[in-house]
Amino acid sequence: MNRQIARILLLVFVMGAGLFAFGARAEGDKRVELSNEDVLKRLSQTHTADERSGLLKLVGERRLREAVPILLTWAEKEKDRGRLRELIGVMRRFSTTRIASLLIERIPRMDETTRLQALAVMRARLEWAQLLLEAVDLGELEADVVSLKDLVVIRGYDCDHCNEIIQRNWFRLRTGDDEKEAALSRLRSPLDRGRGDPTRGRDLFAKNCATCHRSVAKGGIAPRVVNWKGDRNALLRAIADPSGEIQEKYRVFQAAIDDGQYLTGFVVGNDANTITLMEPNGTQRKISRTQILDLSPMQWSFMPDGLLSEFSAQETRDLVAFLQTATN
């Protein structure tokens, strides 16, 4: 009899945990949704990993601002990478700058996967993006922590303050035709003074370009480099002024979300209920149309200006030599 009672109690416990994970609790034969008060109360109690995940999901879905202090306390102390990423995924739904400040403080100690997630969260809000850039400008973060793709997304906010910091710490943003022609001239200059090595150029391509562009039919979310084979002038213009001519299938879109975030990427999925954006880091994010306040095409490329500004004359010759000989 005692063994039978134990089995019944175990079954009840398992069923109760399953219901709890979906934001409900069992009362008699009824399934009762947890109220916001219940969620907040249980957050402060001891719970299993599954229970915690269920609660965090509810906090994010319902945008329970009252839970933010608890989330911040957990995130400050969390050492497990997976649980920290789970917290960041929920905290991105809230706009308080305390979250941004915490992420900036923790970014230097994050593993690469968590850091990329944190940077994606930071660039999705203008105010947070400003704080990120200011942290670099003040020497609180190293400039190489922020990728060129992050900077190009932030550039899309058309924020003068952000652009000034970008130009001071990373690269110059070219706007006028005279500046673009000058950049094209600087790019041509080393090519007239020697020959490049396509083999060395392939290595430079793999390191600096292959994340987005395809060569020899491998990967990519930008035009294939074979498109410029034999047309050096078109190739140089594409490098000097990447936003000058953008093919529609590579057009970047910015989605304004009802929680204050701006998500940026290529539209790779589109149906009656959702839009799927591929973000700069390759993450695909499906967004309900009911959450989208605005979806606008951007007039700039993910490829930043001055990408080859740190290249030596020989490296420039090598890369161009490879790009002009690349095949399918």
Q: What is the mean pLDDT of the chain?
A: 82
pLDDT computed for residue 211 by the predictor: 67
Asked if 68 contacts 99 with a C-beta cutoff of 8 angstroms, the reply is yes
How far is residue 110 CA from its own chain's centroid? 15
- Reference 90, options 119, 67, 113; nearest CA is 67
pLDDT computed for residue 172 by the predictor: 63
Contacts of 103 (CB under 8 A, 6+ apart): 88, 118, 121, 122, 128
Under CATH, which number does the domain 252-297 receive? 2.30.30.100
Confidence of residue 66 (pLDDT cuts 50, 70, 90): very high
pLDDT computed for residue 251 by the predictor: 85
Per-residue pLDDT tens over the stretch 294-316: 999 988 777 777 777 778 889 98
Q: Which amino acid is at 254?
A: Q
pTM beyond 0.85, yes or no: no
Confidence of residue 215 (pLDDT cuts 50, 70, 90): low
Contacts of 25 (CB under 8 A, 6+ apart): 16, 19, 32, 34, 38
Residue 22 has pLDDT above 50, yes or no: no
Under CATH, which number does the domain 177-246+303-325 receive? 2.60.40.420
Total H helices, total E strands in the chain: 14, 7
Domain boundaries, the chain: 15-145, 177-246+303-325, 252-297
Q: Which helix (H) or strand (E) is 103 found in, with range?
A: helix 97-106
Compute how many other C-beta atoms are within 10 angstroms of the C-beta atom of residue 328: 9
User: Nearest 5°: CA angle at 222, between 218 and 228?
Assistant: 85
Per-residue pLDDT tens over the stretch 159-202: 999 999 998 998 766 556 677 777 788 888 888 888 899 899 88
Classify domain 15-145 by CATH architecture. Answer: Alpha Horseshoe (1.25)
